[in-house]
Structure 1
Amino acid sequence: MVNGKRAVNRCDHLGVAPYSDTPGGLYRAYLTPAYIAAQRTVAQWMVEVGMTTRTDAAGNLIGRYPGTTDGPPLIIGSHLDSVRDAGRYDGPLGIMLGIECVASLHAAGERMSFPIEVYAFGDEEGSRFPLAMLTSRAVAGVLDVDETEPVDAMGIGLNAALARYGAEAGAPVADDLSGFAAARHPGAIAYLEAHIEQGPLLEAEGLALGTVTAIAAQKRFQISLAGRAGHAGTTSMALRRDALATAAAMILAVEEIARAAGGQNVATVGVLHAAPGAANVIPGSARFTLDVRAATDLECAKLAETIVTRFDVIAAERQIASTVELLHELPASPCHPALMEALDQAIAAEGVPVRRLMSGAGHDAMILSSLCPTAMLFIRCRGGVSHNPAESVTTDDAGLAGNVMLRFIKRLEDMQGA
């Protein structure tokens, strides 16, 4: 049996100082002191259950449980970083359940024919640097190492952050993005990720678990607007070229278009900045992000195109210069049919109804699909809340998820011998 209570308790343990970069809530950013502290503690938990640990060139923590042969491993993983003012289970719960699966095998003296590697990915959220899933992309070998060096909100570049992290953590990490190539994995038989659902469907249907069928396609943009700053009291409304008002019109258009598209089409503006930022000055510039997601690549591209076309119309009407920059693009990622079936069978064996559902949120699994077949297990979360301190899971659901993962591992062993 997998210890779901310990998995949840360990997520709670990592939810406070010194594992957070902010005193009043949870924010664990990639390569920060809180990130280092969390890695050290998780590495200790890995060692306690018979794993050896290492840190790769991208700053990912990996625990390895040997198999009876030294072939390609099963990778179990999720991410250790968080958004600002985060909940405690988005990411870490999948890591803790991976450790608990290994703990069960180790306690029973069992080894699979294949090794098991538990990955604690460093940068899934993109909450520090504006390039999400940097570290899983490095592992999968799909990171564009020629991209411009990203810089965080404090003006610290990735290269400087890596150097500081390497010195403080004692880890031989890369000097820059090009060095991330050393983190590329040679290959795995499969990747399994357990994650809170981040949606209300399972709870609404009274189900603890669900098998993920695919991860939605995603496009993320930054829109920059250039108007003309002016005195708020002396510039008539007819003569204004207000960048912030233009951004507001565009943001409302995003909501209107995405609602009209219906289905699983969604679009979000999550960040907005305006300058010069004075109460008595008309904003002369503004920029905001646009996140577009849909079930298929085609639907995602169509929704994004419709929104950007409307932006062009709004900018022209208001005499505002508009620039749209694609920050990243992730294709829809279907899970492997045979692995979905193995998860279904493992869920049914625990006496739980089988439910398949799509993930609207992005996960490291969509990146690892470039490396090997992938599977994802969703765990019910109260109210469907995530990226929020109100995130909540039960220890019973976590234990059930861990037992399903353990059954999946053993089914994978049978599949390898078939």
Structure 2
Amino acid sequence: MSETKAAIGATTGSRLGDEIVSRINQLGAISETAEHLARIFLSPEHRTAADLLMSWMKDAGMAAHLDAIGNVCGRYEGERPGLPCLMLGSHYDTVRDAGKWDGPLGVITAIACVADLDRRGVQLPFAIEVVGFADEEGVRFASTLLGSRAVAGTFDESVLNARDANGLTLREAMVRFGLDPDHIGAAARTRRELHAYVELHIEQGPVLEQQNLPVGVVTAISGATRLAANLTGMAGHAGTVPMAMRRDALAGAAECIGAVEEFCKADSAGLVGTVGAITALPGATNVIPGKVSFTLDIRAPTDAHRKLAVADIVRRIEAIAKRRELSLQIDVTHENRTVPCAPWLKAQVAEAVAAEGFGVLELPSGAGHDGMAMIDIADVAMLFVRCRGGISHNPAEHVEPADADSGARVLLRLIENFRPREAGGTT
């Protein structure tokens, strides 16, 4: 691409921020209730949001449709029809009592960038596809990445029998929505159809704000291991059992939790550990807890690092339980692999960031994203946009208009200067 063309892209990108924020607000108004934002997979709000996104895609010069799982898909042709695409996207479902930006920012920014290309009559030597994935959060059926797994061809059909809180199966919900659960395979794409998948997303953390940068280049989507731990001691009267003779399951759990925090804090390579839920029984003020269950969520930028950390943490918990004469059961309940961003593609994201005049900061994503599914059919990369206070999954989630604009300018520059791997990208 010529320097003139690149400069035009940067200039026109500067007016995208206001449009993006306006649309974020419009989409954020589509919710189960006016008090709390909730836009759940296969709900009436999902359909309303899908229709709105498709209208914006069509206005941007794309052909748009709802695919077999409920993803919103738009396509902007290249210099000739049928070329492989650069796929952009994120999700448009939410958690309950959500913020407006998690997911939709990536979809709306991608649409805005395509609209800018269309306004200027720019066609590229590849197509651009924008996908709003229907279910990334997994709120309704407790199974995440359903939209992107369908596109990647890895959808697990056993999930069709999963039930929501009202007892409705996914299969039944799809039929009510107007989709055919026996044809989910029609949403699947192949590797030869995609040059790459790139997702713009709010950081959901405080690093960019701490570094005073509007955008960041993601190195990897951290894998996660989740465990359920159960410690069993002996319940007893709070006033009659001497301290030295107690087998207090809650005190043991507290020591275990402290050990997890201490271990993860001492790690300088991105390891994080969280105990997110704890239950003590019998749960009475004057009774020594006899049984405690708690969860563990361990994440790291590489699988090897995470697995070694999990093994070490489990050994520490086992040692605490043995010393305190508590029985222990600990089980893995969830495991997701780490997804590295492709070096050749990450380098192009970094080039776009630098060309827009920003410092290039590389950082891992501790949260999961649709790229974790898309890696099965395409190289992936991510661009983070700063969010205020690092707050996400919360109504206080917020992106400043100037930062939304910065993210759009970087993404637009990346699109216009994109070099498919087979045309000169490096490994």
TM-score category (smaller protein)? 0.7 to 0.9
CA distance in 2, matches of 1:141, 1:414: 22
Identical amino acids, percent of aligned pairs: 42
Q: What corresponds to 1:98 in structure 2?
A: 110
Q: What corresponds to 1:84 in structure 2?
A: 96
2:38 pairs with 1:27: yes
CA distance in 2, matches of 1:315, 1:15: 47
**1:231 to partner: Cα distance:** 8.9
**1:70 to partner: Cα distance:** 0.4
1:340–1:55 CA distance, 2 compared to 1 (3 A): same
Q: What corresponds to 2:200 in structure 1?
A: 194
CA distance in 2, matches of 1:131, 1:276: 31
**1:78 to partner: Cα distance:** 0.8
2:338 pairs with 1:325: no
The 3-state SS of whatever aligns with 1:292 is: strand
Paired amino acid for 2:20: A
Whether the 8 Å contact between 1:81 and 1:123 is mirrored in structure 2 is yes
**1:98 to partner: Cα distance:** 0.7
Q: 1:302 aligns with which of 294, 305, 308?
A: 308
**1:240 to partner: Cα distance:** 8.1
**1:94 to partner: Cα distance:** 0.5
Q: 2:173 aligns with which of 159, 164, 179?
A: 164
Q: 1:411 aligns with which of 413, 417, 422?
A: 417
Mapping of residues 98-137 of structure 1, within 5 Å:
98-137=110-149
**1:222 to partner: Cα distance:** 3.5
2:363 pairs with 1:351: no
CA-to-aligned-CA distance 1:37-64 (integer Å, 9 cap, x gap)? 3222222222222222233333322222
The 3-state SS of whatever aligns with 1:412 is: coil
Paired amino acid for 2:344: A
**1:395 to partner: Cα distance:** 1.7
CA distance in 2, matches of 1:155, 1:324: 28
Counting matched residue pairs gives: 406
**1:282 to partner: Cα distance:** 7.5
Q: Which range is displaced more, 179-188 or 206-215?
A: 179-188
CA distance in 1, matches of 2:255, 2:44: 40
**1:258 to partner: Cα distance:** 1.8
2:351 pairs with 1:377: no
1:14–1:265 CA distance, 2 compared to 1 (3 A): same
The 3-state SS of whatever aligns with 1:14 is: helix
1:414–1:220 CA distance, 2 compared to 1 (3 A): closer
Mapping of residues 215-364 of structure 1, within 5 Å:
215-223=221-229, 247-273=253-279, 287-315=293-321, 317=324, 319-320=326-327, 322-331=329-338, 333-364=339-370
CA distance in 2, matches of 1:314, 1:325: 19
CA distance in 2, matches of 1:224, 1:127: 25
Paired amino acid for 2:134: G
Unpaired segments ≥5 residues, structure 1:
none
Flag the structure with larger Rg: 2
1:147–1:162 CA distance, 2 compared to 1 (3 A): closer
The 3-state SS of whatever aligns with 1:214 is: strand
* Structure 1 vs Structure 2 CA RMSD: 3.2
Paired amino acid for 1:330: R
Q: What corresponds to 1:10 in structure 2?
A: 23
CA distance in 2, matches of 1:374, 1:345: 16
TM-score (norm 1): 0.84
